[in-house]
Chain A
Amino acid sequence: MKGILPALLLAACTAPAALAGSAAPLLAALEADASRQVGAPVSGSPSRGDTFFHTRRAEWSCSSCHTADPRQTGRHVITGKNIRPMAPAVNPDRFVDRAKTDKWFRRNCQDVLGRPCSLQEQADVVAYLASL
């Protein structure tokens, strides 16, 4: 008992997720799932996430609807509806509900890439957005 608490605290502080503010628990969970899947430690990379987010695929990139600066309000490329900013620093409602995040990764990756995003890619995107 005595040894566990400090160990847990230490683990929480040294993980890159600790820098992610309100998105930290969700990022940590994505990283843990990704690590389990590939059988090696995985951490989200903000720079890889940056590139991924802005790379145009067949028709769209993530920034087509979420804007090139995800701290800004986005706009749906077809319907014109406003989309609240993606960066948790300006919109703390982001990346706090795993079911919601999973649902939108599922839909939007299908639309933009024509395939699901890997857990590594998801962790990269969340690490990038949380670093802004």
Chain B
Amino acid sequence: MNPLLQARGLMRRFGGVVALDGLDLDVAANEILGLIGPNGSGKTTFFNVVTGIYGADAGTVTFGGADITRAPSRAVYKAGIARTFQRSRLSLPLSIFDNIMIGNHQHLNQGLWFNLMRRKAFKREFEENYAAARALVEVFEPAMADRLFEPVAGLPMIDRRRIEICRALISAPKLLLLDEPSAGMTHEETAELMDDILLVRERNKNLTIIIVEHEMGVIERITDRCVVLNFGRKIADGPYREVAADPQVQEAYLGVA
């Protein structure tokens, strides 16, 4: 079967630093892939190149067979890839609802006339989207569902992470890229968040996920397969138990390399 996402020979340098060094990576449809590796091994850079924030110096990325190597970010999103950011990038002065709706851009009617003059129709669209956002938030934190019009600024980190994930999920993407969703959270909070993510996927079996995570317990529990990066190269690929036992991987994590 053709992979959903495929990277071939992907290169990205920052000055003298080679962040991605000829990376080959396949992601099958419907799988949950763990992308792991020590700090600075190129995980976030991979997400940034896929989503068009950085260009690639060489190599290709295809998604569902189409070449997206040079596609701008908004085309990548339209193709069905949504993401979260390692450092939370919510719009703090805006409400929870607004932040989630930013993620639903392609399903909202953006016509000037519709938005300004057809307020009845706009209200209907608003109500449908309110219901969808509320249903999604209820999966993650029912207590937040009644407060969708409060600004994000006052919320604790765990709620912000939840909102970021809702923002990525609301448009029903084919591929979800999660960049350290548990950063800044406790063990218990992390476990809860992962359960919620699995619940969403339970409802939508077509969702493919790539998750970057430093907490190996999480990786072991939720991923079907892991790819290990070191200095921008793939050094191992397989089920978590296998890669964890790989001497090369252990060496990379101990920093002996």
Co-assembled chains A and B: no
